[in-house]
Amino acid sequence: MSTLNEDQNMKRVLITGGAGFLGSHLCDRYIKEGYEVICMDNLITGDSDNIAHLVGNDRFSFVNYDVTNYIHVSGDLDLILHFASPASPIDYLEMPIQTLKVGSLGTHKALGLAKAKNARFLLASTSEVYGDPLTHPQKENYWGNVNPIGHRGVYDEAKRFAEAMTMAYHRYHGIETRIVRIFNTYGSRMRLHDGRALPTFMRQALTGNSITVYGDGSQTRSFIYVDDLVEGIWRLSQSEFVEPVNLGNPQEISILEFAKEIIDLTNSNSEIVFEELPKDDPQIRQPDISRAREVLGWEPKYDRKEGLSKTLDYFKKKVLAND
């Protein structure tokens, strides 16, 4: 594939973290929308299997690279989607410094590239910027309740810093920037052992092991199916809106009830066991998506039952492959 963008009508997008769960789905979407996609990932948490189906596509290329270093891309760029980062508790507890570096240095390098290429820049931020929220549901104008020196702080503060850096580049350098705050997302290409609730519950239920619920399970989350999230990100990337936008499904559920849903979905005989709640684990999590509705004309199409049913076959295959 040429790196010089010989078709001047074809837009080019760089997706950092493009071999990850969300990044790989974005690679698919932007190719579908007619973009030439450059996928950049150092495969620390990403997986080349997620993008294997794109190998050989003349509008797709993969670069194995750590974005905390200087980023060079030949030719023009129209858009950068910055999704590089560990994104699960297990990952950022095992790799705290790398998590901080990709949120700070990686964001700086990616923004520098956007400035050099005069490209639009979209930052993947997170509902974790709200920490353990004191308001409910969470609106974008809420500043959050984060413990900066706690174990989870390496991820929360990395994303908060990334947002500040993104807005600084927008205000000082005039870069076109977008910020998406992503709430709990699920779907195919999640890792079985990434520590998040859905893959953990699916793996435990499908193997007949006990399902681990932390605390008493009363803490809540709001789960969005990946196709809905990708649609929202696409719309945000094409919009003219600069302020952060929540993307999530307002269907809130307790973790205990969610575990029971997975047991019913998988027809599992697994029992639920309770373990100590991790420190700083958020007690509530629900997005206010009024801004996304108003600005993007977006809201989720899939309810949780439908999304989980669409995801089940993927996890069945993953569990069989790991036996």
Peptide bond before 137: cis, by omega within 30 degrees of 0? yes
Q: How far is CA 38 from CA 124, 261, 274, in A?
A: 17, 38, 43
The reply to whether 155 belongs to the active site is yes
End-to-end CA distance of the chain: 38
Angle, CA of 168, 173 and 175, to the nearest 5°: 85
CA nearest to 234, candidates 51, 89, 54, 32: 32
- Bridge partners, 41 (sequence order): 64
Q: How far apart are CA 89 and CA 168, in angstroms?
A: 28
Given the residues 155, 169, 186, 225, the one annotated as active site? 155
CA nearest to 182, candidates 28, 292, 49, 32: 292
Radius of gyration, alpha carbons of the chain? 19
Q: How far apart are CA 178 and CA 173, in angstroms?
A: 14
The length of the chain is 323
The number of C-alpha atoms within 13 Å of 80 and in the hemisphere containing its C-beta is 31
Q: How far apart are CA 59 and CA 20, in angstroms?
A: 19
The set of catalytic residues is 155
